[in-house]
Homo-oligomer: A and B are copies of this chain.
Amino acid sequence: MVKRISLKDIAKKVGVSTALVSYVLNNKKEGRISKEVAQKIKDAAKELNYTANQIARSLKTNKTFTIGLIVSDISNPFSSILNRIIEDEAEKSNYLVLSGSSDESSDKLWKLTRVLQNYQVDGFIISPAEHSAPLIQQLQEQNIPFVLIDRYFPEIKTNYVTIDNYKAAYEGVKHMIENGYRQIGLVGLDIALFNMQERRRGYMDALKEHDLPIKEEWIKRVKREHVKEAVPKAIDELMALDEPVDAVLFTNNVVSTQALKYINTLPIRVPDDLAIVSFDESDAADLFYAPITHIKQPLQEMGRLAADILLENIAERQEIKQVKMEAKLIVRKSTERKGKLGRIL
């Protein structure tokens, strides 16, 4: 029922040309008109409740200037920080980001992509859920512009931006070995994703190459629905072994935050009784009494690059781009050289 406001109405109100109004509201590069006039035009558009902008622009360009972002769980800081970086990068090109969580369900991922496709987003950035390879394959066949982030499927040729998860885990474990730790466990998520396999593979190769044992009972996988109970249980089990671990790699930030909260309540000391390396930065890792050595993913660069690759693909179909970045090992107190061995070596 609302009367449709046109650019002309706004131009009339401010006393400028329709072209100038169009120029300002379509947010082309600044510098050619005064900030004051631009502000007047924006204020008038708001006052008149101008909504035609988006639709008109869409009709003209056949674009909606929106991106769909699907992460696994927006309440995980890794995802929410990445979300924010992508929003900021997209905004530079006047794109808005609409986000949702797949909750590791390929069904929900499918629903979200369908809804966003019906809404005609111009493309997707997706951190794919477990078992969602067929859906990703389908998007690829439909020629929908998208970029995978953090996770990808090696068997499907898609754009992706990720880190070298194998190398990151390998370097973290190697660092602990070099600092004198010998019985190194791993606690991660029980999830069928390639990046998690890669982290386990890096862990195992580091042990193998240093002629250290790999023991089944040192490797714990917890269900993500039960991290709160399963992580303490896994740690109790690792410490109660006849041959307990003296170090541990946490391959996921949700696992490591839960673990640190639990270890904080135990009579064991980090790093004397247990050295720790964890994936990803976190407030928990920073504020633990022995700040945690961690594998820092280049989130800024990953988010920006994913957005840029997507926007290029929206503008014009590009060659497939597959980017593996290097993570950085940030060494802190939780992996300090082991006392006894330090003297022997």
Contacts and interface: CB of A to CB of B under 8 A. Distances in A.
A78 to B, nearest CB: 10
A218 B307 CA distance: 43
A46 interface: yes
B111 A99 contact: no
Contacts of A51: 114, 117-118
A322 interface: no
A178 interface: no
A110 B284 contact: no
A101 B87 contact: yes
Interface string A222-260: 000000000000000000000000000000000001001
Contacts of A74: 74, 80, 83-84, 87, 99
Interface string A65-76: 110000001111
A119 interface: yes
Chain A interface size range: 35 or more
Interface string A121-163: 0000000000000110010001000000000000000000000
Contacts of A98: 98-100, 115-116
Contacts of A284: 283-284, 286-287
Contacts of A84: 73-75, 101
A289 interface: yes
A138 B49 contact: yes
Main secondary structure of the interface of A (DSSP, over half): helix
A91 B66 CA distance: 23
A138 B108 CA distance: 33
Contacts of A219: none
A54 interface: yes
A333 B260 CA distance: 18
A22 interface: no
A53 B99 contact: no
Contact of A46 (B91, B97, B110): B110
A81 interface: yes
Closest 5 CB pairs of A and B: A80-B80, A75-B84, A98-B98, A283-B284, A287-B287
